[in-house]
C-alpha cells in the first residue's frame, strides 16, 4: 500500500488545529467547491488552498503519486466530457464562439473551453484540501471529531475500527493471496473473465470468513470493556478547540457564506463572462 495517503506528524499550526476544525473546514470547503461554478470564487479558493497546502509543509513525496493519479483522471474526464458533449458550454453560457474545427461535428468553442476550465478549477480547489486533510489529521482524532460535530459515537467508532484494522486486513490479504497462488490460483490476464472472478473469490472467501471470526472477537472485547454502556463517551485523543481553531472556523464559515452569496447573486451558479 505504498501510495496510500497517511498521516505524518509535523509541527505546523495546521497540524496543531483540532481534527474537528479541519473536518468542518474540509466539509464546507468541498460543499462550496461542489456547488459553485463562479470562476472568480474558484480562483480565490484555489489560491487559498495552495497557500494552506504550502503552510502545512506537505511534501511532494507524501502526495505525489496520488496527485499524478488525480491529474490523469482529470484529463481523462475532461476529454470524455468534450467527446460526449462538445457544446455543453454553449448550453450554459447561451452563446457559441467557434475557435477551430477538430473533426466531424466537433468544433472547439470558447465557451466549452471556459466550462472545462471551471471543472478543472473545481478539482484543483478541493484536491489540496483533501490531501492536506488526510496527511495532517491524526486518524485517532477522526472519531472524536465526528462525534463532536454531532454524529453518533457508534458511527465514529466504526470508522475508527475501520482505520485500525486496514493494515491487519491488508496483511491478511497478502498472506492469503500468496498461499492461494502457491496452490495454483492465477490472477494473470491469460485466464477468462469468469475464471478470474473465480480466482478472486478464492482470495476474498477466506478473507471475509476469517474477518467474520474477527468481528466476533472484537465485539466481545469491546463489550468486555464497556463499549456502548453510556449515551456519551469521552475521547482520549480528542483535541480541545483553541484560539486558532475559532479563527479558522469563523473564517471558513464567513468565506463560504460570502462565496455562495457572490455565486448566486445573479441567480445562477455559473459566472458568465460572455454576456
Partner 1 sequence: MNPIIEFQNYSFKYRSQQEPTLRDINLKIYPGEKVLIVGPSGSGKSTLASCLNGLVPFSYPGENSGTLTVGGKDPAKTGIFGMSKTVGTVLQDTDGQFIGMTVAEDVAFALENDCVPQDQMFDLVDQVAQVVDIKNLLHHVPTELSGGQKQRVSMAGVMVDDVDILLFDEPLANLDPATGKRAIDLIDRIQKEKKKTVVIIEHRLEDVLYRDVDRIIVVGEGRIVADETPDKLLSTNVLAEQGIREPLYITALKHAGCVIDEKSHPSHIESMDLQPYKESLKTWFENVALPEKKKETEAALEILNLDFSYVTGNPVLSGIHFRINRGEMLSIVGKNGAGKSTLSGLICGFNNPDRGQILLRGEDIGSKSIKERGEIIGLVMQNPNQMISKPMIFDEVALGLRVRGVPEEEVKERVFETLKICGLYPFRNWPVSALSFGQKKRVTIASILVMNPEVLILDEPTAGQDYHHYTEIMEFLKELNEKQGITILMITHDMHLMLEYTDRAIVIADGKLIADDTPARVLTDEATADRAYLKKTSLYDLAVRCGIEDASGLTERFIHYERQVRSRG
Partner 2 sequence: MKKSFGIKEVVAIGIGTALFIVLTNVQVPFPVVPNTSLQSRVAILTFFSAIYGPVVGAAIGLIGHALGDALFYGSIWWSWVIPEAVFAIGVGILSKKYGIKEGNFTAKKIVMFNVVQVIFNVLAWVVAAPVLDILIYAEPAKKVFAQGALSVIGNILVAGILGTLLCAAYSKLSVKSSSLSKEA
Which residues here bind partner 1, judged by CB under 8 A? 139-140, 160-161, 163-164, 167-168, 171-172, 175-176, 178-186, 201-203, 205-207, 209-210, 213-214, 217-218, 220-230, 232-238, 240
Q: Which of residues 30-59 bind partner 2 (CB under 8 A)?
A: 30, 34-35, 37
- Give which of partner 2, partner 1, none residue 76 binds (C-beta under 5 to 8 Å, depending on kind): partner 2
- Give which of partner 2, partner 1, none residue 139 binds (C-beta under 5 to 8 Å, depending on kind): partner 1
- The answer to whether 16 touches 55, Cβ cutoff 8 Å, is no
**Buried-state track 107-125, b at ≥16 Cβ within 10 A, e below 16:** bebbbbebbbebbbbbbbb
CB of 66 to partner 1, least distance (A): 21
Any idea of the CA torsion for 250, 254, 255, 259, to the nearest 10 degrees? Answer: 160
**Smaller CB distance to partner 2: residue 209 or 251?**
209
- The answer to whether 256 touches 30, Cβ cutoff 8 Å, is no
Q: Which of residues 197-256 bind partner 2 (CB under 8 A)?
A: 197-198, 200-201, 204-205, 207-209, 211, 214-216, 218-219, 222-223, 227-228
Q: How many CA atoms lie within 13 A of 179 on its CB side?
A: 11
**Considering only residues 80, 102, 257, 258, which one is a binding residue for partner 2 as defined by CB under 8 A?**
80
Rounded distance between C-alpha atoms, residue 77 and residue 129, angstroms? 20
Amino acid at each position: 500500500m505504498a501510495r496510500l495517503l497517511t498521516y505524518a506528524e509535523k509541527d505546523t499550526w495546521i497540524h496543531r488545529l483540532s481534527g474537528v476544525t479541519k473536518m468542518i473546514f474540509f466539509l464546507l470547503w468541498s460543499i462550496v467547491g461542489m456547488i459553485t461554478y463562479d470562476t472568480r470564487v474558484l480562483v480565490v479558493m484555489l489560491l487559498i488552498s495552495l497557500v494552506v497546502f504550502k503552510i502545512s509543509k506537505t511534501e511532494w513525496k507524501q502526495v505525489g503519486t496520488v496527485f499524478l493519479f488525480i491529474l490523469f483522471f482529470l484529463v481523462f474526464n475532461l476529454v470524455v466530457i468534450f467527446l460526449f458533449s462538445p457544446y455543453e458550454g454553449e448550453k450554459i453560457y447561451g452563446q457559441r464562439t467557434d475557435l477551430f474545427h477538430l473533426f466531424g461535428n466537433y468544433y472547439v468553442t470558447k465557451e466549452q473551453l471556459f466550462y472545462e476550465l471551471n471543472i478543472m478549477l473545481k478539482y484543483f480547489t478541493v484536491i489540496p484540501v483533501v490531501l492536506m486533510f488526510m496527511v495532517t489529521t491524526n486518524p485517532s482524532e477522526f472519531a472524536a471529531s465526528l462525534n463532536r460535530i454531532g454524529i453518533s459515537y457508534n458511527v465514529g467508532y466504526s470508522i475508527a475500527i475501520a482505520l485500525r484494522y486496514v493494515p491487519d486486513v491488508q496483511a491478511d490479504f497478502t498472506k492469503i493471496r500468496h498461499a492461494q497462488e502457491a496452490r495454483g490460483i492465477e490472477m494473470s490476464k491469460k485466464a477468462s473473465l469468469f475464471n478470474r472472478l473465480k480466482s478472486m473469490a478464492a482470495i476474498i472467501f477466506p478473507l471475509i470468513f476469517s474477518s467474520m471470526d474477527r468481528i466476533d472477537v472484537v465485539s466481545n472485547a469491546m463489550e468486555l470493556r464497556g463499549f456502548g454502556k453510556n449515551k456519551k463517551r469521552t475521547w482520549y485523543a480528542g483535541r480541545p478547540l483553541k484560539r486558532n481553531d475559532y479563527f479558522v472556523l469563523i473564517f471558513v464559515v464567513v468565506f463560504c457564506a460570502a462565496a455562495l452569496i457572490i455565486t448566486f447573486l445573479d441567480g445562477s451558479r455559473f459566472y458568465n463572462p460572455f454576456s
